[in-house]
Structure 1
Amino acid sequence: MALDEKYFSLAEVLAVAERHPFYAPGVQYPPHKDAILAIREQVAARAHTPDLSSQPLLWKSSLYKTIERLVDDTDPQNTFRQGIYASTTGGGSSPKPLFFATDVAENRQQRLAFGRFLGTVGLVTERDWVVTIHSAGELYRSLDLTLELLENGGASVLAAGQFMLPEAVINLIIKYHANVLAGDSTQIVNMVHYISSLPKSEREKFKLDKIIYTSESLTPGQRAQIHSVLGADLMICSLLGSAEAGPYGFSCPNITGKNQSGDGTAAYEDFVFDTRLTLMEILPATVDEQDENQTPSPIPDGEKGAIAQTSLIRLRNPLVRYMTGDVGSLHDLPEQARSFVSQSAWPHLKVLRLYGRDRRFSFEWSGNYFEFSTLNLLMNEEIAGILQWQVILEKMVESPLESRLEFRILLTRGNGGAKEKISDRIKKFCYVDASLERKFGILFVNDMGDFVRSPGARKVIKFVDRQD
């Protein structure tokens, strides 16, 4: 992957961060382009070794608050609103959509470089025809992101989108002899479930040899089902990114070596990333959002902890020591990857072993992440009449590869007539459409005995995870 002047040094990123409202509360607006150019020239003129560990951590709550202020400010001096690529962040759980603004040129350059990288390591090839069922709309842009990345990698991509029925998607695959299906993990599982219902004569009309998925990791059971339906030789690959950082990691069995056999027993996913483009730190699990000035040092490679990310691509609106809300560890590339990675790139690549979301801050259901802080605000302050509530996430009895989300709610006396209004508000918050109704429920209970309680203090557990 060729790097050019569009990629920035850590010293440049930290210098811009010093004058950006994300990190300096007293600064009203981000620096304009001329000011950023002057900052880069100043950095180049002095010999300075940057110290990332001295930079305070950036948490989602602080970031979102600043973004909301900048978005609402229409003053012509507000550079945050000028020439930006915008997409939603926060996993869709915020009652008021917030987005992360990226410089348009920086965004396009990142997509070009990362897409070409996917081509050089063989995740996609010029022979691949990809049908993508990724989503778009309501500021969500995974469809155009996937299209551009895979096209830059050399593939031919057909934009099916999220509204095309499974039957139509299969017809598209057959008509154009597509060999790759892409989508978020929930979409992939649903499509594979549909394919499993087709008669053998229909399934023999097409051959998929690769799945490329995004969003939450596939479970071992889901991987086993995919291989059972589509064949043991099917390659399952994944892309990793966010609205805040853009695309930055990928998983491919040729390189990471995991789940090729289909047993999928590991409770993690390995992603390759380039340290010239993004820096990942693994911090102690004890880091606390309430301590605004903490500057923890990373723990050694191989140890599990909280992930902090610094982008060397985002300069205009820097991302420095950003707490992603995930748990992971860092590792070297396996030796088997040498046949796919050039010798020049090898020293710059690392493996991020991703274990999933940090349960202290959020949970995932059906492709969306829900922040506990936002859910608490909704249930405790924004909806009147709720005395007690609880959220239960569990495997579906009739479909163990999928999860059901249930809200249990105890209303204050005299509020029984508000059930429909409250239900509608919660469904809107959780983005429950017709396709998700069977996996979602709201139970209005009569007393505290209907809640799941802690065994010792008998407290109502706000979030109950029964997926394991």
Structure 2
Amino acid sequence: MALDDKNFSLEEVLAVAKRHPFYDPSVQYPPHKDAIRAIREQVAAQPSASGLSSQPLLWKSSLYKAIQRLVDDTSTQNTFRRGIYASSTGGGSSPEPLFFATDVAENRQHRLAFGRFLGTAGLVTDRDWVVTIHPEGELCRSLDLIMEILENGGGSVLAAGHFMLPEAVINLIIKYHANVLAGDSSQIVNMVHYISSLPNSERGKFKLDKVIYTSESLTSRQRAEIHRVLGADLMICSLLGSAEAGPYAFSFPSLTGKNQSGDGTAAYEDFVFDTRLTIMEILPATVDENDEDQTPSPIPDGEKGVIAQTSLVRLRNPLVRYITGDVGSLHDLPEQAQDFIPQSAWPHLKVLRLYGRDRRFSFEWAGSYFEFSTLNTLMNNEIRGILQWQVILENMEESPLETRLEFRILLVRDGCDSAEKISDRIKKFCCVDASIERTFRILFVNDVGDFVRSPGARKVINFVDRQG
């Protein structure tokens, strides 16, 4: 990718995908650089008429399986292991972190393109000083990713990181007159909770104009508390991305209007994306992972369905018709956005209305996604003696802006693992550390009556979402 390029063509991405093990299990290794160059030259000389409609869907399970095989293969012929940018994915749904490998040069160019995209839209400007408390380490790359993106957008960024105490973060904001706070949603909530405890004399020493959050969506209650503590005129913005696709969309009220998920009625959030960097398809909710050759056509704009993503900034390891596990719909950008977006960019921008995770696949807590299939394997096969189990997500009574993850477990009378061993196993699975331990709970119950059950059939529900 040349330095002045923002993307690859769809034809190039599809042509490489046909020769990549992500999409053809009979292919041992991804094409090497010379082969990719030859593919691009061939596409330029003989453009193909084929499009996305004939491409099968890519599911997480098959993608992770292919990645694991390629990571484990230390052959000198394995091109997958050469010059990669690796970042963790999969949240806490696996005992071992899963990661997606991107070509190093492609990754840096993607950060540059997306950062400039944010700058063009005005989400970040050269007048902004940003303090970011994003995490880093254990394969997580959030801190350096966010810093580089915002710097490419024009901002000045201070790396506080996730180990800095709230008091130290506030001192940093005051010392450098920072006006923007960035972090994942749980970190933002924790910081706002701390700021609410400060006397007015301390709060008056700083003024935040924007909050930029990542990870799971803020609830309407959380947004209301952020505005109460930091001011009604504060702008709440969000960045959307994944290890597989990188950053690809943003939420910015100036472009999309009043933040719909903050009015207490709408259960969605609007994100803006550039069709030159990523293609989003909304597919029927009937798509099934068990049908490997399924090639569904997208449903019309405005209708809700399953999101499939194709990246135009990843070529060496392409991402084509990838089922993200989210539910959404596509819409045109509101007319009011013309006041903020250059006319040349206007035709390329769309709105992705995100409703959240497809509950058939996973749920989210504390910034991590948990795959139901992997959780089922853990609870039903890997831990001895669990007779019945249930997972509950609910707002904490003592801290309503935070969400507790609770496991309820009924054990057989004999032949089971100890409660301590089971607890340790589940905590490891959920990546529970000291910073979030108070929002996690395991209860060993005495009978089925201690579970939440369905109103009619009185069945035990494995997953209960009580979030307000």
**Normalising TM by the smaller chain, what interval?**
over 0.9
Deviations 1:237-262 (A, max 9, x none): 11111000001101111111122996
Q: Does 1:291 align with 2:295?
A: no
- 2:383–2:417: 8 Å Cα contact kept in structure 1? no
Aligned to 2:226: 226
- 1:118–1:153: 8 Å Cα contact kept in structure 2? yes
Structure 2 gap ranges (5+): none
Deviations 1:232-290 (A, max 9, x none): 11111111110000011011111111229964542111111110110000001111111
Aligned to 1:47: 47
Aligned to 1:423: 423
Aligned to 1:81: 81
Deviations 1:351-387 (A, max 9, x none): 0000111111101112111110111111122222222
Equivalent residue letter for 2:185: S
* In structure 1, C-alpha distance between the alignment counterparts of 2:309 and 2:74, rounded to whole Å: 30
Aligned to 1:301: 301
- 2:11–2:47: 8 Å Cα contact kept in structure 1? no
Aligned to 1:403: 403
* In structure 1, C-alpha distance between the alignment counterparts of 2:382 and 2:294, rounded to whole Å: 32
* In structure 1, C-alpha distance between the alignment counterparts of 2:419 and 2:260, rounded to whole Å: 48
From the superposition, tell whether residues 176 and 450 of structure 1 become closer, same or farther in structure 2 (CA, over 3 Å). same
Deviates most, 254-263 or 351-360 = 254-263
Aligned to 1:458: 458
Equivalent residue letter for 1:459: K
Equivalent residue letter for 1:359: R
Deviation at 1:47, TM superposition (A): 3.4
Q: Does 1:98 align with 2:66?
A: no
Pairs within 5 Å for 1:148-297: 148-259=148-259, 263=263, 265-297=265-297
Aligned to 2:327: 327
* In structure 2, C-alpha distance between the alignment counterparts of 1:202 and 1:5, rounded to whole Å: 47
* In structure 1, C-alpha distance between the alignment counterparts of 2:363 and 2:457, rounded to whole Å: 24
Deviations 1:304-339 (A, max 9, x none): 100000001100000000000000000000011111
Equivalent residue letter for 1:121: A
From the superposition, tell whether residues 39 and 416 of structure 1 become closer, same or farther in structure 2 (CA, over 3 Å). closer
- 1:258–1:264: 8 Å Cα contact kept in structure 2? no
Aligned to 2:111: 111
- 2:121–2:341: 8 Å Cα contact kept in structure 1? yes
* In structure 1, C-alpha distance between the alignment counterparts of 2:409 and 2:465, rounded to whole Å: 17
- 2:94–2:429: 8 Å Cα contact kept in structure 1? yes
Q: Does 1:131 align with 2:117?
A: no
* In structure 2, C-alpha distance between the alignment counterparts of 1:229 and 1:261, rounded to whole Å: 18
Deviations 1:17-50 (A, max 9, x none): 0110000011111111111111111111113223
Equivalent residue letter for 2:82: Q
From the superposition, tell whether residues 105 and 417 of structure 1 become closer, same or farther in structure 2 (CA, over 3 Å). closer
The SS at the match of 1:435 is coil
Aligned to 1:345: 345
Deviates most, 262-271 or 77-86 = 262-271
From the superposition, tell whether residues 201 and 261 of structure 1 become closer, same or farther in structure 2 (CA, over 3 Å). farther
Deviates most, 442-451 or 234-243 = 442-451
- 1:134–1:162: 8 Å Cα contact kept in structure 2? yes
Give 4+ residue runs of structure 1 displaced > 6 Å after superposition: none
The SS at the match of 2:258 is coil
Pairs within 5 Å for 1:373-392: 373-392=373-392
- 2:219–2:261: 8 Å Cα contact kept in structure 1? no
Deviates most, 393-402 or 300-309 = 393-402
The SS at the match of 1:271 is strand
* In structure 1, C-alpha distance between the alignment counterparts of 2:155 and 2:248, rounded to whole Å: 19
- 1:166–1:194: 8 Å Cα contact kept in structure 2? yes
- 2:30–2:79: 8 Å Cα contact kept in structure 1? yes
Equivalent residue letter for 1:144: D
Return the TM-score normalized by structure 1: 0.97
* In structure 2, C-alpha distance between the alignment counterparts of 1:251 and 1:103, rounded to whole Å: 27
- 2:328–2:352: 8 Å Cα contact kept in structure 1? yes
Aligned to 1:122: 122
Deviates most, 413-422 or 352-361 = 413-422
- 1:6–1:106: 8 Å Cα contact kept in structure 2? no
Aligned to 1:370: 370
Deviation at 1:5, TM superposition (A): 4.0
- 1:89–1:98: 8 Å Cα contact kept in structure 2? yes
* In structure 1, C-alpha distance between the alignment counterparts of 2:209 and 2:299, rounded to whole Å: 39
* In structure 2, C-alpha distance between the alignment counterparts of 1:5 and 1:39, rounded to whole Å: 17
Aligned to 2:315: 315
- 1:241–1:247: 8 Å Cα contact kept in structure 2? yes
Deviation at 1:165, TM superposition (A): 0.5
Aligned Cα root-mean-square deviation (Å):
1.6
- 2:260–2:266: 8 Å Cα contact kept in structure 1? no
Q: Percent identity?
A: 84
Deviation at 1:458, TM superposition (A): 3.3
From the superposition, tell whether residues 416 and 296 of structure 1 become closer, same or farther in structure 2 (CA, over 3 Å). closer
Deviations 1:71-91 (A, max 9, x none): 111001111110000000112
Equivalent residue letter for 1:375: L
- 1:173–1:179: 8 Å Cα contact kept in structure 2? yes
The SS at the match of 1:319 is coil
Equivalent residue letter for 1:390: Q
Structure 1 gap ranges (5+): none
Aligned to 1:29: 29
Give the aligned length: 467
The SS at the match of 1:406 is strand
Return the TM-score normalized by structure 2: 0.97
